Amino acid sequence: MKGKIFMYLFLFAALFIIFQYANVKKTYEAQEHDIKTLKAEVEEAEATTDSLLQLNSASIAEEFTLDGDEKARMYIEDLGYNINDFKTSLETKIFSENKADADNALVPYSGMEGFMRINGMKIINHKWVLIEFTDGKYWGEALLNYYIEEDGSITFESNDGFLYGN
């Protein structure tokens, strides 16, 4: 009789262990499936977030240009200018200040290793232009105010600038 009890206990324990193993295996597989699904959702959400951030930063950068500022464009168009022609003439006027034998008068610093010349610019709105300048070794940026006179000429005033440390 004692042998039968131990046999039934052993059989019951074996069935219980098999049941627990099957239950844990199903739970483990379900959790692994959930983890894979959630990882895929996180990667998709990160990709969407990255693309939205890039789009947002591009739209913010576009806001601070003459093309992105509706009021500034309207101001220039009300003066009778075509925006693209005005931008071209403004860029030409600024770059024409670069001289072969002298500093550019629009740059608020004198050249230390050569003559300061403007090598890049961004028209911010109907009153400001951001310029980048260099003398070959030192470089910096400056903010220019520009005014459209009644006779159609454009005058400049250097507002503020800085040189980068070398």
- Kindly report, residue by residue over 123-139, the tens digit of the pLDDT: 888 899 999 998 888 88
Q: State whether 51 and 119 are in the same domain.
A: no
Residue 18 vs residue 1, higher pLDDT: 18
pTM of the model: 0.61
Q: State whether 82 and 158 are in the same domain.
A: yes
Cβ pair 131, 124 in contact under 8 A = no
Q: State whether 103 and 138 are in the same domain.
A: yes
Q: Which residue has the tokens 């009778």?
A: 80
State which residues form the domain around 101. Answer: 70-163
Sheet harboring 139-148: ordered strands across? 117-123, 128-134, 139-148, 154-163
What does the radius of gyration of the chain's CA atoms come to, in whole angstroms? 35
Q: State whether 142 and 84 are in the same domain.
A: yes
Where is the domain boundary, 38, 63, 88? 63
**E strands along the chain, which residues?**
117-123, 128-134, 139-148, 154-163
For the chain, give the percent of residues with pLDDT over 90.
28
Where is the domain boundary, 32, 63, 94? 63
Q: State whether 149 and 100 are in the same domain.
A: yes
User: Which whole-number Å values give the CA distances from 46 to 57, 58, 60, 75, in the listed order?
Assistant: 16, 18, 21, 41
The whole-number pLDDT of residue 144 equals: 92
Would you say residue 7 has pLDDT above 70?
A: yes
- Please provide the average confidence, as pLDDT, over all residues in the chain: 86
Query: pLDDT digits over 43-85, tens only?
Result: 998 888 887 777 666 556 566 777 777 888 888 888 888 888 9
